[in-house]
Amino acid sequence: MNELSKMNPHEIPAYQLKQFQELITKLFQCCQERMQYQSERFNLPDAELRCLALFGEERYLTSKGLAQKMNVVKSRVSRIIDGLIKKGLIQRIKDPEDSRISLLSLTPDGQKRLNEINSFLEYVHHQVLLQMAPDQRKAMLTNLDILKASMESIKEMMV
């Protein structure tokens, strides 16, 4: 009988924990490097890129909604919005139902830039998947889905 078969199924061998920590750190670093490259390529700070991406799902957003989605304080999101407005990528529109509320939406230039960013991301992700055989891709996607679900369940426990 080997050592693993003697273990409690709820115990995690130290080498697996260490390997998991190292892989998560390396994946995070890869993502940060891609974000840095993306910021330079599209001449936008990371926060503005992330903010712009949120408009892909919504036609209109509010400052408060953006702050919640980006997990930043409203004063920080105001600076991000101001930067995007100065660049002509988003615009403020008064809410027709409540003039106290300003709605934010993409300008045509903002939509064009977002489309360019999304095309770039699709290309990068396509290139990553091409590095794997089809059966490896399927297994990797299944395992990433499991990882995401596990991480979300832990996140819920932290709240």
Q: Is residue 3 part of a domain?
A: no
- Collect all residues with Cβ–Cβ distance below 8 Å to 93 and sequence separation of at least 6: 60, 102, 103, 104, 105
Kindly report, residue by residue over 13-38, the tens digit of the pLDDT: 999 999 999 999 999 999 999 999 99
Whether pLDDT at 157 is above 90: no
Q: Which residue has the higher pLDDT, 3 or 143?
A: 143
pLDDT of residue 96: 82
Instruction: Please tell me the pTM assigned to this model.
Output: 0.81
- Collect all residues with Cβ–Cβ distance below 8 Å to 28 and sequence separation of at least 6: none
- Collect all residues with Cβ–Cβ distance below 8 Å to 41 and sequence separation of at least 6: 120
Q: Is residue 136 part of a domain?
A: yes
Quick one: what percent of the chain has pLDDT higher than 90?
76
- Least confident piece of the model among 3-7, 119-123, 132-136: 3-7
- Cβ atoms of 114 and 106 within 8 Å: the answer is yes
Whether pLDDT at 2 is above 70: no
Q: Say how far apart CA 86 and CA 108 lie, in whole Å.
A: 14
Q: Is residue 2 part of a domain?
A: no
Q: Is residue 133 part of a domain?
A: yes
Domain count for the chain, please give it: 1
Q: Say how far apart CA 56 and CA 79 lie, in whole Å.
A: 20
Q: What is the average per-residue pLDDT within 88-115?
A: 91
- Cβ atoms of 103 and 93 within 8 Å: the answer is yes
Q: Which residue has the higher pLDDT, 43 or 58?
A: 43
CATH of the domain at 75: 1.10.10.10
- Give the domain extent around 131: 9-158
| pLDDT bucket at 155, cuts 50 / 70 / 90 | confident
pLDDT of residue 1: 47
Q: What is the average per-residue pLDDT within 60-64?
A: 90
* DSSP line for 24-89: HHHHHHHHHHHHHHHHHHHT--HHHHHHHHHTTT-S-B-HHHHHHHHT--HHHHHHHHHHHHHTTS
Whether pLDDT at 4 is above 60: no
